[in-house]
C-alpha cells in the first residue's frame, strides 16, 4: 500500500500540567539541539526526505530556469553620506550583495564592503549598518550562518578597517554621536556557546542591554546606558537626533508597535554618556508607537499610531511639554507605511491603499499636501534621502517587475520632470507581457472582505485544473506586499500555474485594526481567511484541492500547520518554512517571548492557553482525514524560530497521521543556514528547487518549456 517507512522516533511519557490541564509532550527531547539523539533524528529524517524532493521529472529544468530568473543585475537605491555616494549591487548570482562607493552618482564605482570575502561559502551576511553623520565612519554588523547574533566592525570612509570589534550584539541598531567618538548598540548576555555555534542554541534572550562604545577602547569598557532587569523582555534602543544634540531613547515591550519615548539633551549631560544621565520621559507607557522623523531645535516630529491605527504625523516641543503632541498630518483612510524628511522641510509620505503603494510630498512644518507622485501599481521600498539632500531615490517592485530605482529631484522646476527612472532591472528571457496580476476581494468565514493578488499567464482557462500556489502570513502587523519572485515566475510560465498571495487579517494591510483582528483570541480569523482563499480559488475554477499547494514561513508556517490540520481535504500539498508549531512552548526559546503580543501568554493566562491549545499545530493532528503531501523546511542555525518546532511537529505527524496516508509527511533540515535573512543565493536556489519539486510532484504539475 506504499506506506512510507519513517525513522523510528523515541516517544516518551513526558507531560506538563498547566492551568490544571495535562498536556503530553512525548518529543520534548527533540528540544535539545546538541544531543546525539537529535543529531541522529535530523540525519535520518533528511535521508527519508531526499527521495520526495527528487521525484519531480523536470527538477533539473526547474533548477536551471529558476537560476536564470535569479540571475539578473540588481541595485539598491543610492544614498549620499559625507563626500560619497553608496549603493548595493549584485551581478546576479553573487552570494551576498556588495556595497560600492562613488565620488558622484554616475562616477566609477569601487568596492567598499564585500561580505562575500568573509566566508568562502557566502554564509556571512551584512545585517544592520550605518554611517556616522560626517560620513567618515561606517559601522556594520555581520551575521554568520543566518543567526540573529552579529559582530559589529568599523571602517573609515576610505574603506580601512578600525580595530574595534563588538561581539554578541543582537537585534541592534548602530547610531553614532556626531563627534565620531562612538556609537550606541544593543546586546544580550553572551550565551555559553562557541562563536561558530552561535544560532544553534535555544536559550531565551532577556535583559537586553543598551551600550555606548567609545571608538578605540575595548568592548569591556563600553558604557552600559540602559538595562531594566525588572522588565526582562523589554527592548531598549537609542538613536542620535539629526542635529546630534539629542538621544531618542525608546523602549519596546514585544512585537506590538508600541514604545516608551525618552529624550536626552546631550548638552544638559555635559556630553557625558552614562546610565544616570538626565532623561525627559516624554512617553512612559506602551499606549502607542513613536518613530522619530527629525527635529528642528526642540521641536520633534514623529510617526505614531496614538489614537490612529492607520498612523499619522505629529510634533512635540521639548521646551513646551505642557502642549503635548499636536497633529501635523492627520490619519487618513489609507495606512501610512513610512515617512522620511528630505530637502530641508519636505515630508515624503508613503501610504498603502488596498495593499498598493502611494507616494505624497507634504510640507513638514504645516503638514500641507504639496503633491502626489504617481507610481505604477506595486510596492515602494527603501526611500533614501535626507534633510540635506535635494533629491531622493526609492525602489519599486511588483509581481511582474523585478526592480526599478526611481529618482525624485525637487530642483526640477517642471513638476512632471521631477520623477525619473534611475535604474531598471532587466531579467533576460522573461517577457512580463505574457502574464497578468488581478486583485480580488473574497469573503472570509465571517463575511469580512479579504484582498488577494492572483497572477498567472494571460489566457488562463478557468477549468479547475490549473496548478495553484497560495501563500499567506497573517500576523505581527506585517503586510504581504507585491514583490518579484523568480520561483513564482517559473511556476506560472512552465507549470501553467496560478500564484495567489492572500492579505490575511493579523497583517498590517489596513493598519492596527487589521492586525488586532488576527491576533490573540482572534487568531482563528487568520486561518479562516486562508482556508476561504483556497475555497475562493476552487469555487472560481482556478484550481481544485488536489492541485492546490499552500505555503507560508515562520508565522506563516504556523498558518500552514494549523490550516492543514483543520482542513487537510482542501489542499494538494503543504509546505511550512521555519514554522512556529508548538504554541504552548514558543515563548521559552530565544526571542519567542516577544511574540506573546500576537499569540498570547500560555503560562500566564488560562484563556490564552486554551485558545493556543485549540489551534497549536503540534497538539491538533487530524486523525479523521488523510493529509496531503506535507514538507517542513527548517535550518540548524535558525535562532529566530528554533528548529525544534518543526522536529516535534513532523515526529507527531508521522506517528499519528502517517498510518492514514501514503502521502509523504517529511522535513528538510538545512545546515549552516538560519531564519532566512542573509541566506546566500546558492542556498536559496537549492532550497526553492527542492520546495517546488516537492510541490510539483505532489500536485501532478507538468513542465512545459
Ligand atoms: O522576533 C522578532 N520578530 C517577530 C518574528 O520574527 N516572528 C514572529 C513569529 C515568528 C517570526 C516570524 O514570523 O518571522 O524580531 C526580533 C525582536 C527583538 C526584540 C524585540 C522584539 C522582536
Q: How many angstroms is it from 425 CA to the middle of ligand 1? A: 31
The beta-strand segments (E) located in 145-217 are 149-156, 161-170, 175-176, 182-187, 209-214
**pLDDT, tens digit, for every residue of 111-158?**
999 999 999 999 999 999 999 999 999 999 999 999 999 999 999 999
Residue 416 pLDDT grade (very low, low, confident, very high; cuts 50, 70, 90): confident
Q: How many angstroms is it from 9 CA to the middle of ligand 1? A: 30
**pLDDT, tens digit, for every residue of 261-317?**
999 999 998 889 999 999 999 999 999 999 999 999 999 999 999 999 999 999 999
* Average confidence (pLDDT) over 180-204: 95
Nearest CA to ligand 1 atom 3: 255
Q: Give pLDDT, residue 428.
A: 87
Q: Give pLDDT, residue 649.
A: 98
Q: Which residue has the cell 482572534?
A: 522
255 CB within 6 A, ligand 1: yes
- H or E stretch covering 530: helix 523-539
**pLDDT, tens digit, for every residue of 316-330?**
999 999 999 999 999
* Dihedral angle sign, alpha carbons of residues 530, 536, 539, 541: negative
Q: Give pLDDT, residue 495.
A: 98
What proportion of the chain, given as a percentage, has pLDDT over 90?
96
* Average confidence (pLDDT) over 696-702: 97
Residue 2 has pLDDT above 80, yes or no: no
Nearest CA to ligand 1 atom 14: 554
3-class SS of residue 659: helix
Annotated catalytic residue: which of 554, 616, 635, 646?
554
645 CB within 6 A, ligand 1: no
ipTM comes to: 0.99
Q: How many angstroms is it from 190 CA to the middle of ligand 1? A: 20
531 CB within 6 A, ligand 1: no
In the predicted model, what is the mean pLDDT of the chain?
A: 97
Please list, in sequence order, all residues whose beta carbon lies within 8 angstroms of the beta carbon of residue 461, skipping any fewer than 6 positions away. none
Residue 410 has pLDDT above 90, yes or no: yes
Q: How many angstroms is it from 255 CA to the middle of ligand 1? A: 7
Is 675 one of the catalytic residues? yes
Q: How many angstroms is it from 44 CA to the middle of ligand 1? A: 30
Residue 86 has pLDDT above 90, yes or no: yes
476 CB within 6 A, ligand 1: yes
Q: Give pLDDT, residue 413.
A: 77
Annotated catalytic residue: which of 582, 675, 690, 697?
675
Nearest CA to ligand 1 atom 20: 254
**pLDDT, tens digit, for every residue of 348-376?**
999 999 999 999 999 999 999 999 999 99
Q: Cα dist. 274→208, 494, 653 in Å?
A: 17, 61, 53
Q: Give pLDDT, residue 231.
A: 97
Global pTM? 0.98
Q: What are phi and psi of 43, to 5 degrees?
A: -60, -45
DSSP letter assigned to residue 96? S
595 CB within 6 A, ligand 1: yes
3-class SS of residue 386: coil
> Which mutation among 554, 560, 576, 612 tests ligand 1's pocket best, with the greatest number of atoms within 8 A of CB?
554
Residue 1 pLDDT grade (very low, low, confident, very high; cuts 50, 70, 90): low
> Which mutation among 255, 508, 677 tests ligand 1's pocket best, with the greatest number of atoms within 8 A of CB?
255
* Average confidence (pLDDT) over 483-503: 97
* Average confidence (pLDDT) over 384-409: 97
Q: How many angstroms is it from 494 CA to the middle of ligand 1? A: 35
Ligand 1 nearest-atom number relative to CA 233: 20
Q: Which residue has the cell 555616494?
A: 85
- H or E stretch covering 88: strand 84-90
472 CB within 6 A, ligand 1: no
Q: How many angstroms is it from 569 CA to the middle of ligand 1? A: 31
Q: Give pLDDT, residue 415.
A: 78
Measured distance CA(640)–CA(430) in Å, rounded: 35
Residue 425 pLDDT grade (very low, low, confident, very high; cuts 50, 70, 90): very high
Ligand 1 nearest-atom number relative to CA 148: 16
250 CB within 6 A, ligand 1: no
* Average confidence (pLDDT) over 200-208: 97
640 CB within 6 A, ligand 1: yes
Residue 394 in contact with residue 379, Cβ under 8 Å?
Answer: no
Annotated catalytic residue: which of 148, 242, 638, 690?
638
252 CB within 6 A, ligand 1: yes
User: How do beta strands 391-398 and 223-226 pair?
Assistant: unpaired
Widest CA span in the chain: 79
Amino acid at each position: 500500500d506504499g506506506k512510507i517507512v519513517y525513522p523510528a522516533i523515541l516517544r516518551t511519557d513526558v507531560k506538563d500540567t498547566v492551568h490544571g490541564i495535562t498536556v503530553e509532550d512525548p518529543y520534548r527531547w527533540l528540544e535539545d539541539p546538541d544531543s546525539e539523539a537529535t543529531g541522529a533524528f535530523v540525519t535520518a529524517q533528511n535521508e527519508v526526505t531526499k527521495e520526495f524532493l527528487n521525484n519531480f521529472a523536470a527538477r533539473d529544468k526547474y533548477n536551471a530556469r529558476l537560476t536564470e530568473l535569479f540571475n539578473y543585475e540588481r541595485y539598491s537605491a543610492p544614498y549620499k553620506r559625507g563626500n560619497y555616494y553608496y549603493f548595493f549591487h549584485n551581478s546576479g548570482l553573487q552570494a551576498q550583495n556588495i556595497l560600492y562607493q562613488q565620488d558622484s552618482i554616475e562616477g566609477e564605482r569601487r568596492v567598499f564592503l564585500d561580505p562575500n570575502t568573509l566566508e568562502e561559502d557566502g554564509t556571512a551576511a551584512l545585517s544592520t549598518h550605518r554611517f556616522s553623520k560626517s560620513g567618515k565612519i561606517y559601522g556594520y554588523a555581520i551575521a554568520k550562518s543566518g543567526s540573529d547574533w552579529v559582530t559589529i566592525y568599523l571602517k573609515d570612509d576610505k574603506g580601512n578597517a578600525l580595530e574595534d570589534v563588538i561581539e554578541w550584539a543582537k537585534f541592534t541598531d548602530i547610531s553614532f554621536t556626531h563627534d565620531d567618538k562612538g556609537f550606541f548598540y544593543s546586546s544580550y548576555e553572551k550565551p555559553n556557546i562557541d562563536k561558530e555555534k552561535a544560532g544553534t542554541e535555544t536559550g531565551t534572550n532577556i535583559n537586553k542591554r543598551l551600550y555606548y562604545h567609545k571608538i578605540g577602547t575595548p568592548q569591556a569598557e563600553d558604557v552600559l546606558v540602559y538595562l531594566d532587569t525588572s522588565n526582562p523582555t523589554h527592548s531598549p534602543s537609542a538613536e542620535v537626533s539629526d542635529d546630534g544634540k539629542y538621544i531618542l531613547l525608546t523602549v519596546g515591550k514585544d512585537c506590538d508597535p508600541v514604545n516608551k519615548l525618552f529624550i536626552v539633551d546631550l548638552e544638559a549631560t555635559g556630553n557625558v554618556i552614562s546610565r544616570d544621565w538626565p532623561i525627559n520621559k516624554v512617553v512612559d507607557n506602551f499606549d502607542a508607537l513613536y518613530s522619530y522623523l527629525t527635529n528642528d531645535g526642540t521641536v520633534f516630529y514623529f510617526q505614531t499610531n496614538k489614537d490612529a491605527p492607520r498612523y499619522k504625523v505629529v510634533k512635540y516641543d521639548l521646551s513646551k511639554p505642557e502642549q503635548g503632541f499636536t497633529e501635523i498630518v492627520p490619519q487618513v483612510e489609507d495606512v501610512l507605511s513610512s515617512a522620511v524628511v528630505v530637502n530641508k522641510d519636505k515630508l515624503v509620505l508613503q501610504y498603502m491603499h488596498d495593499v498598493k503603494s502611494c507616494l505624497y510630498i507634504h510640507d513638514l512644518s504645516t503638514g500641507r499636501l504639496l503633491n502626489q507622485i504617481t507610481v505604477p501599481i506595486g510596492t515602494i521600498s527603501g526611500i533614501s534621502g535626507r534633510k540635506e539632500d535635494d533629491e531622493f531615490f526609492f525602489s519599486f517592485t511588483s509581481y511582474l517587475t523585478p526592480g526599478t530605482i526611481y529618482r525624485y529631484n525637487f530642483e526640477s522646476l517642471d513638476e512632471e520632470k521631477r520623477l525619473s527612472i534611475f535604474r531598471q532591472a532587466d531579467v533576460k528571457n522573461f517577457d512580463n507581457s505574457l502574464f497578468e496580476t488581478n486583485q480580488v476581494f473574497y469573503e472570509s468565514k465571517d463575511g469580512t472582505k479579504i484582498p488577494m493578488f492572483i497572477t498567472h499567464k494571460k489566457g488562463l482557462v478557468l477549468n479547475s485544473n490549473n496548478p495553484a500556489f497560495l501563500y499567506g502570513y497573517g500576523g505581527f502587523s506585517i503586510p504581504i506586499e507585491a514583490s518579484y519572485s523568480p520561483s513564482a515566475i517559473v511556476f506560472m510560465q512552465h507549470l501553467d500555474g496560478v500564484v495567489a498571495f492572500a492579505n490575511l487579517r493579523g497583517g498590517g494591510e489596513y493598519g492596527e485594526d487589521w492586525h488586532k483582528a488576527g491576533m490573540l483570541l482572534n487568531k482563528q480569523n487568520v486561518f479562516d481567511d486562508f482556508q476561504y482563499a483556497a475555497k475562493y480559488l476552487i469555487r472560481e475554477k482556478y484550481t481544485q484541492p488536489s492541485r492546490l499547494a499552500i505555503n507560508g514561513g515562520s508565522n506563516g508556517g504556523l498558518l500552514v500547520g494549523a490550516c492543514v490540520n483543520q482542513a487537510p481535504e482542501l489542499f494538494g500539498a503543504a509546505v511550512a518554512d521555519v514554522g512556529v508549531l508548538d504554541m504552548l512552548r514558543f515563548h521559552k526559546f530565544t526571542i519567542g517571548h516577544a511574540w506573546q503580543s500576537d499569540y498570547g501568554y500560555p503560562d500566564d493566562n488560562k484563556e490564552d492557553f486554551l485558545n493556543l491549545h485549540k489551534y497549536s499545530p503540534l497538539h491538533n493532528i487530524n486523525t479523521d482525514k488523510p493529509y496531503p503531501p506535507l514538507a517542513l523546511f527548517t535550518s540548524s542555525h535558525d535562532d529566530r524560530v528554533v528548529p525544534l518546532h518543526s522536529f516535534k511537529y513532523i515526529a507527531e505527524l508521522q506517528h499519528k497521521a502517517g498510518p492514514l496516508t501514503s502521502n509523504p509527511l517529511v522535513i528538510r533540515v538545512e545546515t549552516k543556514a538560519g531564519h532566512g535573512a542573509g541566506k546566500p543565493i546558492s542556498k536559496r536556489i537549492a532550497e526553492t528547487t527542492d520546495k517546488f519539486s516537492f510541490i510539483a510532484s505532489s500536485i501532478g504539475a507538468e513542465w512545459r518549456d
